[in-house]
Amino acid sequence: MTPGIIAQHAPALIIALPLFAAFATPLIGRYSRQARDAWIFAAMAATAAIAAVLAYQVYTVGTVVYAFGAAAPHIPLPIDSGGIPIRIIFTVDAMSAFMVVTAAISGFAVTLYSLISESKLTGRDGFYALLLLLITGILGMVCTGDLFNFFVFLELNSIAGAALIAYRNDKGVAIEAGLKYAFLCTIGGLFVIFATALLYGQYNALNIAMLASRIEFTMLDKVALVLLLAALAMKAGAVPLHFWTPDAYSMAPGSITALLVVASQAGLYGVFRVVFTLYSVTLDYFAVGWIIIVLGVLSMFIGVTMALVQKDVKRLMAYHAVSQTGYMLLGVGVGLAVLGQQGLMDAYGLVAMEGGIFHIINHAMYKGLLFLTAGAIFYRTGTRNLNRLGGLGHSMKWTMIFFIIGALAIAGIPPFNGFASKLMIYESVFLFNPLLAIIAMVVSILMLASFVKVFQSIFMGPRLPEYADVKEAPLPMLIGMGILAVVTVAFGLAPAWVVDQFVAPAAAALVNQSGYIASVLGGL
Amino acid sequence: MNMSKVVRAAANLLFPFILIFGLYIVAHGHLTPGGGFQGGAVFATGIILMIVAYRYETAVGRFSKDILRNCEFAGLLIFVSLALAALAFGTGFFYNWVADTGLIFGASVAPGANPGDLNTGGVIPLMNLAVGLEVLGALSVIILYMLSGTREEA
Amino acid sequence: MFNNLPFIAAAVIGGIGLTALLFRRNIIKMIMGVSLLEASVNLFLVTLGYRQGGIAPIFTNAPEGPMVLPTVQAMTLTNIVIGIATTALLLSFAMMIYRKYGTADAGSIRKLRG
């Protein structure tokens, strides 16, 4: 295919390619193991490349729309349809492109890592097929401009995720975690489709832009809003619906957990999309903003306090993930609370939102990195119990360095990326409400404390006799971790450039509801 | 265990008809209610009927899991490939590139009320066939795997 | 009242499903609850598209007159397909849990805590 076709059809190819690769994986795997591994690697690399092309288009030209099944996919409205979008339309604005880039980097690192980390285990054909399906689900969720299509990709994400969590059943405990996740996601999915039905019944549209232009905020819309927010906040792992996260994150294979972080963030993206784009002007910004802020602060605080007492290293990291989700909700919630008041928005609202959004990609990178290091330690030692680990700093030097980078980034220590986004959140939230900023800082300090403890018990101390023959993790796993580590450091060293180039357009796109509508329905 | 002779004879008698009915639903998906998923489900019902009537081992001997799994993946691949093929014509993903070309299923639709022509619809019937293949494979494999799970305790 | 009967039925089915999900401890019964909830959403969707006296939206040999809305039917169908996938996944999880723990009681399989 020529580059022109790839560029033109990037929004479709980004879904089609991993989907096609996933279905072909078991067939290829039947004949040759090497060919299958090469195929998966090539497919994921191509998907990441298309993600880059798509993001480049969006950031240089503007929102990309793609109508499926149309002769000319870039015209969202058929000429004879009377201004109604009748097809499934992908609407990729800067916020979507931002999420696509996050998912692509993380997905690429995880794929590379899991090609080795799973190599000793059975049933890999299914594992890689599900991995690619999970990536498809995430990319679809963040690209789609159709509410029902969003539900379909949400379910793809949930089913593939649940199956992957339970894939290494570990005496049934992983199945328990997978069952819990599957139950919650199914119920959440049913909430989403019920809300979709409520909106469709009133406005005769499924396209998000069309719905946004027609929405009136009736009583039924409020019910739909509550259902959507509950389901998507659950998917994002925010308190009070966070209880699946420690189970699922700790029992899933290390590589999958790193990707589940991104899968959760696709739920977070859904929350933002619903609030900012779908409802936007009809909402009481202050009330809904505060609801999101309260959810965020609760997540931050409960997550970190629960993390302090954990013995299992991945369970501890899972509670930190809950806590980090709180930062994103806090930042974007503050932005929402002052949306519509231009003075306050310029003063700190937009910065808070940029901080929250910047934190999404930062979190995906360093938390992915931490989960991958935990997976590497488990790969070599076979345990995740902090009390049994120790002295690994002697033998797993690179893993230790990557762990340090991840841990310092999550605690918000300069010059890593976690510092950059947290600083933006602190500064802007302090102007909004000083108490919230102080809570955020205290949580950050507690986080540092708990990672010092983890670091101490895994890597420090004398070389333990039972781990005497433990070696460094294999090279592809190190490269997978290295990609995430490089991004973590690079974003920390040049935060201003990243914010200007990637984050500010995403935040602006999120606020700009009329722009989103106009990109599909034309200039109204 | 085997069911009684009456059940087995009836199942043997019904089996081809169920398969043909499933194929009919798949093939006429673009004209009448039905389509790939429904037809594939009917198809899989036939296989499940055989499993009910005979022992699990007999059924497994007759329908190999490998072939059914291949059906599943082949169906999915054909489906995505048909959608991707539209890109080669310079049109959008999933564009109906067979319709009105005179190829198989590519005849033009007659205007006005008419009884419907099987040879129309473009990629829609082709995709129905692909989905039918996928669903028949997937549902049968699910049932076979679930049965193989219960068998270990019995 | 009579026209709203399907909506009421959907609410009742959904209520039964939620009750089963929340108050039953047997995993199989909880899965039944999920299926009932899904059935209620499907009924709600199909009812949304119903028009009094409408015919099936098939243009082959169609007589004059109102047709029911096909979009919601397509949505329902998609939801049924997804529902089959989730139910199969949940049931196979339940089977494996039963094999590992020897019980299907949600109260007694909680190894993951804290």
Q: Residue B114: list chain C partners with CB under 8 A.
A: 60-61
Domain hosting residue B84, numbered range: 5-151
Interface contact C41-A194, CB threshold 8 A: yes
Residue A176 or residue B152, greater confidence: A176
State the pLDDT at residue C114: 43
Distances in Å between the alpha carbon of A380 and those of A117, A469, B76? 10, 9, 37
| Distance in angstroms (rounded) separating the CA atoms of residues C25 and C29 | 8
- What confidence tier does C71 reach under pLDDT thresholds 50, 70, 90? confident
- Confidence band (pLDDT; 50, 70, 90) for B153? very low
Residue ranges of domains in chain A: 284-493
Tell me: pLDDT of B152 over 70: no
Give the list of residues 6+ apart from residue A445 with CB closer than 8 angstroms, or none. Answer: A411
Task: Tell me whether the omega of the peptide bond preceding residue A240 falls within 30 degrees of 0, making it cis.
Answer: yes
pLDDT of amino acid A144: 92
Residue of C113, C90, C94 lying closest to A247 (CA atoms): C113
Point out the residues of chain A with pLDDT beneath 70. 1, 170, 523-524
The SS3 assignment for A230 reads: helix
How far is it between the farthest Cα atoms of chain A? Answer: 76
A412: left (phi over 0), alpha (psi -120 to 50) or beta: left
What's the pLDDT score for residue A97?
94
Q: Do C61 and B113 touch (CB under 8 A)?
A: yes
Chains that touch C (3 or more CB pairs under 8 A): A, B
DSSP characters for C28-45?
HHHHHHHHHHHHHHHHHH
What's the average model confidence in pLDDT over C22-45?
92
- Only one residue has tokens 């940029």, namely A354
Vertex A16 angle, CA A15 and A17, to 5°: 95
User: Could you read off the pLDDT of A376-435 as tens digits, one per residue?
Assistant: 888 888 888 888 888 888 888 888 999 999 999 988 888 888 888 999 999 899 988 899
- C65 CB neighbour count, 10 Å cutoff: 9
Report the CATH number of the C5-52+64-106 domain: 1.10.287.3510
Q: What's the pTM value of the predicted model, to 2 decimals?
A: 0.93
Looking at residue A283, its pLDDT comes to 77
pLDDT 10s digits, B75-126:
999 999 988 888 888 788 888 888 777 777 777 777 766 677 777 778 888 8
What number of C-beta contacts closer than 8 Å exist between A and B?
Answer: 55
Supply angle C-alpha A172, A177, A183, rounded to 5: 120
Q: Within an 8 Å CB–CB cutoff, is residue B154 touching chain C? A: no
Kindly tell me if the per-residue pLDDT of B150 is higher than 70: no
Does a cis peptide bond (omega within 30 degrees of 0) precede residue A415? yes
> Quick one: pLDDT band at residue B151, thresholds 50, 70, 90?
low
User: Which residues does residue A146 pair with via DSSP β-bridges, in sequence order?
Assistant: A207
Residue (of B74, B72, B20, B83) closest to B46 by Cα position: B20
pLDDT of residue A269: 93
Please give the ipTM for the structure prediction.
Answer: 0.93
**For residue A390, what are the CA distances in angstroms to A307, A400, A457?**
19, 12, 5
Against chain B, the chains showing at least 3 CB pairs within 8 Å are A, C
Q: Which residue is it, tokens 């994103």?
A: A328
Please name the residues between 274 and 303 in chain A that touch chain B, using a CB distance below 8 Å: none
At B154, is the pLDDT very low, low, confident or very high (cuts 50, 70, 90)? Answer: very low
| Residue of B25, B28, B30, B37 to mutate when probing chain C, most C C-beta within 10 A | B37
Alpha carbon distances (Å) from A33 to A30, A317, A393 = 8, 33, 34
How far is residue A197's CA from residue C49's CA, in Å, rounded to a whole number?
10
3-state secondary structure of C56: coil
Out of B77, B84, B91, closest to residue A24 by CB:
B77
Total tally of structural domains belonging to chain B: 1
Quote the strand ranges of A313-428, DSSP E: none
> Which residues of B are less than 8 Å from C95 in CB distance?
146, 149-150
Q: How far is residue B48's CA from residue B25's CA, in Å, rounded to a whole number? A: 18
pLDDT at B116: 72
Q: Which residues of A touch B96 (CB under 8 A)?
A: 69
Residues in chain C: 114
* Cα–Cα distance for residue pair A432/A350, rounded to 1 Å: 12
Beta strand spans in A25-174 (E): 64-67, 89-92
Contact A219, A227 (CB under 8 A): no
Positive or negative, the Cα torsion across B100, B106, B107, B111?
negative
CA distance A141 to A103: 11
Sequence-distant (6+) residues with CB within 8 A of B6 are: none
All residues at 6 or more sequence positions from A267 whose CB lies less than 8 Å from its CB, including other chains = A141, A154, A232, A233, A234, A235, A236, A237
